[in-house]
Structures are given as C-alpha cells and as structure tokens.
A and B are shown apart, each in its own frame.
Chain A
Amino acid sequence: MNYGNPPPPSGDYERPNCRFRCGRGAAWGQPCANGPSPDGQCGGTSECQPVKNRGRFECHRPADQGGPCGDGPNKDGSCSMRHPPCAPRLSLRARRGRVTMQVCGLLVLLLAAGFHFGRGGGAKPPAADPGPLSAKHASFTRGRDCAACHAAHEAGLGGMLKAAFTANDMSAQCAQCHAFGGPADQPHNEKHFTPHGHAQATDCRACHTEHRGAQGNLTPVTDAQCNSCHRVQFAGLTRGHHEFPAKFPHFTRGGIKFNHAKHLLEYFTKPDYAARAAKSCVECHATSPGEHGLRTAGFDATCARCHAEQIPQNDLVVLRLPEPPAPADAAKLGADDATTFMAWFLQRGGTNAPAYGTALHTFLNGLGMDGTASFAKSLDAATKPGAGAALLAGLNAELLTRPAQLWTKRQKFEPSAAKPVSGWYWLEDLFPELRYKPAGHADPVARAWLEFALAAGREPNAPDAKRAADFRDEVTHLRASVGRCVKCHVVTAPPEAPAARELAWRYTGSELRAHTKFSHGAHLGLTRCADCHALDAKADYEGQFASFAATAGVSSFSGIALANCVNCHAPGKVRSDCRLCHEYHRGPALKEMSVAR
C-alpha cells in the first residue's frame, strides 16, 4: 500500500476549464478515471473501455486503477466491472459563471421593475432615484416629481434613448419657474458685459446643484469660483477687495430732501425744537433683525412734529377775477392780473387761441352756468379724463357759479372774510382769488395740482410753453409752492426730457448697486449707526438741488469705507465670502405659474 506521494495523474478532466467534475469525488469518494462528459453525463459507470484484440476483448483498466481485472470484459465487449452512475457537479469555474449570470439577470430585473413601476403619476422610480430634492424644489414640484424638471422622464423608451444622445437644456427648465431682471443665460443676468470683455453664456448647473437632500446647499459656490470669471481677482474681502467708492452708498440724490447734518447738528439742538426732535436714528429709520432694508417712518410719525403746521401756510391760487370790463372792451382785457394758471389755461392753442379777455369771458360764462362741471370738463380736455374731478375735489359748485355770474354781469363780488381751515375759498386781495388751502400732508388736491402743473410744461416746443412753464414754476416754487411740498419732495428733470419735470412723492433711500446687498437688520445691536454713517457737516447738500437735473447725489453722510466692514468680516471672525454681500442674479423672482402649480 502506497502511503507516500499521490499517484500520477490519471486523466485531464481535473483541469479547471472542464465544466463538470466527478460526483464521487464531490462526495469525497474515489473519483473515476474518465470523469464526466462535457454535457454532464457520468463517465465512470464502467472501469474500462475493453479493446478487441485478435478476436477477443481485453480489459484495459489503467494501472493506477488496479490494472486489468480478473473477470475481464463480457462477451459483448462491455466492461464487467460496472458501477451506478454518479451525479456530476459543476466545477468551481462553471459555478462562478452561473452565479455571475444569475446576479446580472436579477439586477436587470430589479432595475427594470424599479424603473417601470416607480414611474407615472408623479412618482419617483427607485431605480433612477438620485437623492431627495431640496425642500424648496420638493414642495413646488410635488405632483410632477421628476418630470417637473426632466422632460425625458415621461418619454417612452425610445424618447429616453433619444434623450441620451441629445443635449438637454436644463437651464430652460429652470427658466420655466425662475425669472430674472435680465437674460437668464448671461452672467449676472446682464445684457451688456462689454466693460468686462468676453463673457460666456451660463448654465444654471454651473452653480446650482440639486438632489442633495432637503437641507442640502443648492448653491455651493466658493469665492474661487466667483474669481474665475472676474478679471480683477483677489483672495478675499480683506485681501485685495477694492475700496468702496468715495460716496458709497449715496450715489443718487433721492426723492426726499432731508439734510441730516443740518437737522442733527443744528435744528435739533435748538431749544424750540429739541423737545420734538428724534432722539435716535431708529425713531425715523426702523428695522428688525429679519429685515434687510430700513423702513423710514412716514411724515406723520417723524417730520410732522415740526413741519405739519407749515403745510397749510401756502395756498394754491387758481383763479383771480379782474375788474369786469365793458362788453366792448372785453377782448382787450390782458392777462396781467391773471394767475399763471389762467394765463396758460385760457390761452392754450397758441396763435389759434382766442384773445385772453374773450376766453376769460367764455370761461366765466361757463362757470356761471354749469359751475364745476364745465371747469372739470375743460381740465379733462387739457390732461386726461377724470383729472378734473381730482383737481376740483371738494369744490362746491356754488363757490364758482355765483362769483362767475356776478362778474359776467359786471357786479361786485365780495368774498367772505372768514378763512377756512382747509379747502376751497375766495379771498379778496387786490382782486377776488379762488384759493385752495391744503388740509395737511399728502393733501390729494394739492398733489393733483402739482402733478397737473408739472405735466403742463412737458412740451418745450409748444406755442404756450412759456406760460406753461410759468404756471409750473409758480406751483413748484421752493418757498411759495402749495403746501410747501417742494420744500422736501424733489423735483427732477428726466434726462430724456430736460424741459419736463417729475416730482418724487416717496422716499427711495440710498440705492445699492445691482448685485450688492446689505442687511441692516442683521447688524442691529452689533454696531452703532454712526460707526458706518458719519455725518459730513461740510457737504453741500442743498447745492445739489439747485439744478433740476438728476445729478449724482450729495449726502450729508460720509461714504462708507471698506474698513468699516472688515473690522468684523474677516477670516477667523464673521463670514466674509463674496455671496454675503453680492447677489449674483439680477432681480430674481418666481413666475406666477410656478406658484400656481
């Protein structure tokens, strides 16, 4: 019995490229010499393949299997040493291939099922789920899910195959909901980028990344990425950022004249006004931690303390009745004693207009017959329908009818001596004058007349341009204007029409340049107002209003310097990245249809 080295190899079926191995060997028995056939049939049912030699069958069992057997082959040539067949097993290599194919097949089935059964009806297929959307997008796209942004999602297999080889304009999908103050595919949504040279069209996905979860950062943009486009590059707010402009952020002259330096350093210190003066900036300029801008409290809460009593001091003089002329001299009556309004209004039409005296007679005749109706109709014709009602609001028809009738009859009209607190009334000065006394701030009639007067002088080449300008200048006189509105509300000549005038009714505040933002609310309590807004007593604040042209603004505050910001906004302290102060998009907004969805 050989207990030493293993016997020499008996066959080549043990090679790993054979698909099957002997079942007896798999059961740790003695494997047969032949091994299974390539198709997995047992090859060891007989111990030898008898060979016919000289008419006799001879046993050819291999020596390592024991050599020729004692019984020899059967008469029909079959081996006498037969065994039951084994169950051949797959070789390791064959099993490996089978497992691989099964895994791949299972995976394909799972992918197909996970994609097919998860689509439709706004669902998200698990086999194509790239991760949850941000909270904002998730709420707006609920109901359509993937198809809200990916047009190919609802296409069939053919459509998806086509989409795989076609460029997909994702930015156009974004623009279905997102609007900007300029072209969506241009840097910063600006139309013209010539000052900065060549600029390429942009793709939303360059900065915005979705599918990062509900709390994911949609815009993980770094300062280095901002720098990649800008020609002037710098490392940070404290390393290379250029100084703010000298007048930052006071570039325009605003709509309301208020000289902070004069008020804070002079007027508020006077004993007469000290008690009524604002004690701190926030009395007039309110904000809260959640707000970006400053809310300026209205006139009633701030300026009225000192200026309310001034408003009714200036009346608007609309009509002045001269001495009634004799009927034969009516046409000779001049406009010397007329109000600027009458001089312009009754002589509109230039050379085609009737003589002043005739026009006045006709006008007063109409007043005597219709009262305010004909006057309003004439005013509508001069401006626009409905303007007359606004201009003559509160005017009792009797107040026009009786004086006009008396005048046309050449009878003396004596107005009442009593002056009302506000509203329309007649006053006997040298001549009877129809006047309007404003009730207070934002008086609608005063406002209507101011706008009417400004509109009158809009056409510089009109035949009555001089008279219109005289009327306009009287109504908007700095000291004599009705209600003294022009004392605070700025009158500006628009650049495109230098002869015209516009009046700013609302406070606009300092306008930051596009793409720059600042939150006062966030700085509440951290700094004092004066730390950034230092009064400049020497600034020629009033001088900027000498001309109606919208010149660059002069502020009574010094410009804010970069040094004010970098005290806190520096590496190691508070955030100082580009996006803290700069907004990439111009006027970002949501389109109505996106909200309606």
Chain B
Amino acid sequence: MNTPARKTALPWVLLASGVLLFLLPWFWSRHLHAHLGRPALVTGWWLFAVMVFLCGFNARKRLAMLPLGSASAWLAWHVTGGFLTLALFWLHTRSLWPRGLYEQALAGLFYLLNFSGIVGWILQRAYPRMLTGSGVEIIYERIPAEVARLRGGAEAVVLACTRATGSDTLARHYLETLDWFFRRPRFFASHALSGGRKARAWLRQQCAAVRLYLNDAERAHLNRLTALAERKLEIDFHHAAQSLMKRWLLLHLPLAAAVMLLALWHVFLVCVYAL
C-alpha cells in the first residue's frame, strides 16, 4: 500500500538511486581512463543494461498477473531510468553528437525517444488532474457512442422546437453552426493546449448570436440545446486529452524499438570491429 510516508520518500529514493547509478559508472570510468583502460566498454554495457530495464516496463504491463510490483512504481523507475540513460549516454559518447552515420542515427533516435518520453511524462502528470476537474468521467473507447448520443439528442431538440413553435430559426441556425460541432469532437488544439477556452468562446458566441431572434418558447429549446453542447465540450476535452495521453505512445514505443535495435547493431559492430 502506498502510505503517505512512502509517497513522500519515493522521489528522494528515486533521485538517490539515479545519482548513485550514475556516479558508480562515472567513477569507474574515470579510474579506467586514468589507468589506460577502456571506460567506453563499462559505460556502454551499463547504459545498455538500463535501456533493457526500461523496456521491461512494457513487459510488466503485459504480465499484469505476475507480482512484479505496481505499475506506478515501475513508471517512477522508468522515468528515473530515462533521465539516467541521458546522462549515461553523454558519459559513454563523451560528446553531444557523434560523427559516424549510423551512430548519428542512433543518437538522433535516442534524443527523440528521450524527448518523447519527457513530453509523455508531462502529459501523464498534467492531464489526469484536469480531466478529473472537468467533472465528467468517460472511457476513451466510449466517446464515439457518447458523441453520437449527444448528436441525436441535439437533433431531437431542434425538431421538437420546430414542431412546437412552427419556427425554423433555431433549426436553420443549428444546420449552419452546431450541426458541424455535434458531428465529431472539435477544437482539438484548443482543448489540448488551453483547456478549451477558444471552444467555449465559440459556443457562447453561437448561442448568443441566435438568442436575439428567438421567442421565449424557442429560447427554452435553445437552453436545452446549449446544455447538450456544453456536455459535448467536456467530451471534446476528454477526447483531446486522452488522445494525447494514448497516442504519444505511437511515437514513443516505435522509437524505443528502433533505438534498441540500433543499440544491438552497435554492440554487434563493436564486437566485430573493436574488441
């Protein structure tokens, strides 16, 4: 169980472990360097071992039935290991950018992988809190059904308004503006980057624009339509946030596989040409 004490101590444990796991090869490589040894071998294998450990996180998620520790703990170690690999990479290569073509490819992919990992970590830290604060809970795979349901509801309100009042003002306005809005999740960038501010402003504007031309009976239908649209906004925000939280792995995992493949190739070349 994650007691408060454990939760407070964990970052420090991770930090200390990361620093220790860096300092050990650092001192070892310094000693070897001073004694005309081959520090690149030590730092290289150490880096490779940490990378293999990082790949173990994916395996842990697939082997959920085995008692291998909580996924949150693995994530914490995964993030620590990710930063550690960056430091170990620089310790191993002793430069920011290597010279050889395939080594540059490996370094480029490695930097991209780290960058995607950092971005993903930021996403995983920032969005869940915002999603909880939205007041709506919905599973990502059920968003299409909810969007369809809201669209059906909105169309029903508009039809009911036309039947009840005999006026098609609201219907025409719906066809020209809100129909596009209810068709699928909209304002992805606005929800992803600024919490949907632009989307809310757009909705307010559309509703305010038509309200002037409606009578009281029509306004009641407009209010119901607006409530559905505001719910749609929340769903759109969930779609944007959860999409990002899921889709960044489309970049991170293939990059990780590519980096591991190139790392194995690097090990093979070193064994053939240099050892």
Q: Which residues from chain A sit less than 8 Å from chain B, CB to CB?
A: 1, 3, 6-7, 9, 14-16, 21-22, 24-26, 28-31, 92, 95-96, 99-100, 102-104, 107-108, 111, 114, 126-132, 146, 150, 152-153, 160, 163-165, 167-168, 170, 202, 205-207, 211-213, 222, 224-225, 227-229
Contact = CB atoms under 8 A, between A and B. Distances in A.
Contacts of A131: 98-100, 103
Contacts of A130: 99-100, 102-103, 269, 273
A104 B261 CA distance: 7
A95 B254 CA distance: 11
- Chain B interface size, under 10 / 10 to 19 / 20 to 34 / 35 or more: 35 or more
B144 A29 contact: yes
Interface in B172-222: 183-185
B125 interface: no
Given A3-B231, A6-B146, A92-B246, A107 B100 contact: no
A279 B231 CA distance: 104
A170 B253 contact: no
B144 A25 contact: yes
A164 B35 contact: no
> Chain B: interface secondary structure?
helix
Nearest to B275: A168
Contact of A1 (B153, B249, B261, B262): B153
A130 B102 CA distance: 7
Closest 3 CB pairs of A and B: A131-B99, A25-B144, A14-B141
Contact of B36 (A22, A127, A165, A207): A207
Give the one of B141, B183, B250, B271 with max A CB within 10 A.
B141
A160 B269 CA distance: 9
Contact of A126 (B101, B141, B271): B101
Contacts of A167: 275
Contacts of A14: 139, 141-142
A99 B255 CA distance: 10
B98 A6 contact: no
A279 B20 CA distance: 69
Given A9-B142, A211-B100, A225-B36, A104 B258 contact: yes
A170 B271 CA distance: 12
B99 A213 contact: yes
Given A28-B183, A104-B261, A211-B99, 18 more contacts: A3-B153, A3-B224, A6-B146, A24-B144, A28-B147, A29-B148, A30-B148, A92-B246, A96-B254, A99-B250, A103-B258, A107-B261, A111-B102, A126-B102, A127-B101, A164-B268, A165-B271, A224-B34
Contacts of B63: none
Nearest to B138: A6
Contacts of B15: none
Interface of B: 33-38, 98-103, 138-139, 141-142, 144-150, 152-153, 156, 183-185, 224, 227-228, 231, 246-247, 249-250, 253-255, 257-258, 261-262, 265, 268-269, 271-275
B45 to A, nearest CB: 15
Given A107-B261, A168-B275, A128 B102 contact: yes
Nearest to B182: A28
Contacts of B247: 92
B273 A104 contact: no
B273 A152 contact: yes
Nearest to A108: B261
A30 B145 contact: yes
Given A100-B254, A150-B273, A225-B36, A6 B148 contact: no
Contacts of A150: 272-273
A160 B100 contact: no
B38 to A, nearest CB: 7
Contacts of B142: 6, 9, 14
A355 to B, nearest CB: 74
Give the one of A28, A131, A205, A225 with max B CB within 10 A.
A28
A165 B275 CA distance: 9
Nearest to A165: B271
A28 B184 contact: yes
22 contacts: A1-B156, A14-B141, A22-B144, A25-B148, A26-B144, A28-B147, A30-B149, A92-B247, A96-B250, A103-B255, A126-B101, A128-B269, A129-B100, A129-B101, A131-B103, A146-B273, A163-B271, A170-B274, A205-B38, A213-B99, A228-B34, A229-B36
A225 B37 CA distance: 10
A597 B85 CA distance: 44
